[in-house]
Amino acid sequence: MAEITRVLFLCTGNSCRSQMAEGFLRELGGDRFEVHSAGTEIAEHVHPLAVKAMAEEGIDISGQEPKTLDRFEDTQFDLLVTVCDSAKQSCPMFLGADREVHWSLEDPAEATGTEEERMAFFRDIRDEIRRRVEHLVRTGEALNDDGEPVRV
């Protein structure tokens, strides 16, 4: 029986980047991963444009909800992935993770302009998250922003 890798994606509000990463790993990783996401603060809901961007990829995250990090304070993870600089600074050491990596991804919730311009930004971030999650699933390694692999 294969060992399950427990992963936590962490960002500030848990409304966009970490939710998309959770959705991708849940879909692409199958039963090899137990995946969660959380925020150092909590948003009211998953951002509607994140839901829409993921739906374009055939992944439904509309049932996911923002969660705070304290929900997982007694949980041990194999890998913690911070997906924004603010979360990395707010939580420089999460004692419940064996390994940590950081993905410095801009916050699509802060995009301005028309809805289509904002969607384009969400798609760019979504596609970068997908690329990184696919690498993790394919190789068992999470890449830091500097390209250094962390074996999980």
Catalytic site residues?
A: 11, 84, 91
Strand 141-143 versus strand 77-82 pairing type? unpaired
SS3 138: helix
Query: Is the distance from CB of 136 to CB of 74 less than 8 angstroms?
Result: no
Could you give the CA distance from residue 47 to residue 57 in angstroms, rounded to a whole number? 16
Which run of H or of E encompasses 11? strand 5-11
Q: Which residues contact 76 (CB under 8 A, 6 or more apart)?
A: 6, 96, 97, 98
